[in-house]
Amino acid sequence: MFLTIRDLAKSFGDNEVLKSINVDLDKGEVLSIIGPSGSGKTTLLRCFNGLETPDKGIITFEDGLKLNFQEKIKKQEIDRLRRKSGMVFQSYNLFPHKTVVENVIEGPIIVQKERKASAIERAEELLAKVGLKEKRDFYPHQLSGGQQQRVGIARALALKPELMLFDEPTSALDPELIGEVLTVMKDLAKEKWTMIMVTHEIQFAGEISDQILFMDGGYIVEQGSPQEVLKAPKEERTKQFLQRIL
């Protein structure tokens, strides 16, 4: 198993946002987290890369990294956790005063101390992969939201992560720009990237995911294959949610 999560919990003050979360993910799998607003999806995603620190629970990776949040976590373990994943945010978070290629090489050069020439070479390959080779020297404000988000994906990939995390990557986009971002994500899934995404694109999640987690009120109410969770949900709450949005 590439990643296992056991009995993870997280509160903000009195608000128990995640309750006894268990997840198993194999290498090359795509996992989608769905559920109503406020159910804890983003908080869970942020726990996978240390942007949020759980109160309890154990995160284990197959290479031996094991974080038990009931014990004191060493900074170097959190650093190792962070380095494993690339995160794509809802709001792109590109540096506005840097060009597309400069945005993509920033992480490899600053964080990973890569040499500029090789970082640029790789950035150009990644920009070609997301269909933005010709936008290399543009600034973010000269791009559409869909193009900015594809730069966001290239930038996350540039860090050579083992795991790609997507936090509602299309929810800030105009409807006609959503498809181009989903196409890039679908290509990554075909290339067998290990991916976890929070999404409202249920149909898309059904197409590319190996596993779906349906969350409500901080719990995983139902988890399984897209066929199980989306087509033949067992739980009433899942049925109601799907009825509302499909």
- Contacts for 210 with CB less than 8 Å, ≥ 6 apart: 26, 29, 30, 31, 225
Residue 204 CB, shortest distance to ligand ADP, in Å, is: 17
Q: How many residues bind ligand ADP (CB under 6 A)?
A: 11
Tokens of 224: 């399984």
Give yes or no for residue 15 binding ligand ADP (CB under 6 A).
yes
Least CB distance to ligand ADP at residue 56 (A): 17
- For the chain, list the strands marked E by DSSP: 3-12, 15-25, 30-34, 56-61, 66-68, 85-88, 163-167, 194-198, 211-216, 219-224
Q: Which span sits near ligand ADP by CB under 6 A: 11-19, 147-155, 188-196, 223-231?
A: 11-19
CB of 139 to ligand ADP, least distance (A): 30
Q: Nearest distance from residue 89's CB to ligand ADP, in Å?
A: 12
Q: Is 191 exposed, middle or buried (0-12, 13-18, 19+ CB in 10 A)?
A: exposed
Per CB under 6 A, the list member of 9, 23, 40, 153 interacting with ligand ADP is 40
Question: Distance (Å, rounded) from C-alpha 157 to C-alpha 168?
Answer: 17
Element (H, E) at 238: helix 236-245
Which one of the spans 10-18, 65-73, 205-213, 238-246 is the region binding ligand ADP (CB under 6 A)?
10-18
Q: How far is the CB of 177 from ligand ADP (least distance, A)?
A: 22
Dihedral class, residue 171 (left if φ above 0, else alpha if ψ from -120 to 50, else beta)? alpha
- 23-58 per-residue burial string, b: 16 or more CB within 10 A, e: under 16: bebeeebbbbbbbeeebbbbbbbbbbbbbbebebbb
Which residue in the set 21, 23, 34, 39 belongs to the binding site for ligand ADP (CB under 6 A)?
A: 39
Q: Does 37 bind ligand ADP (CB under 6 A)?
A: yes
Binding residue (CB under 6 A) for ligand ADP from 32, 43, 85, 170? 43
Q: How far is the CB of 164 from ligand ADP (least distance, A)?
A: 18
Q: Binding of ligand ADP at residue 42 (CB under 6 A)?
A: yes
Give the C-alpha separation, 99 to 83, whole Å: 24
Q: Site residues for ligand ADP, window 138-167 (CB under 6 A)?
A: none
**CB closer to ligand ADP out of 114 and 168:** 168
Binding positions for ligand ADP, rule: CB under 6 A: 12, 15, 17, 35, 37-43
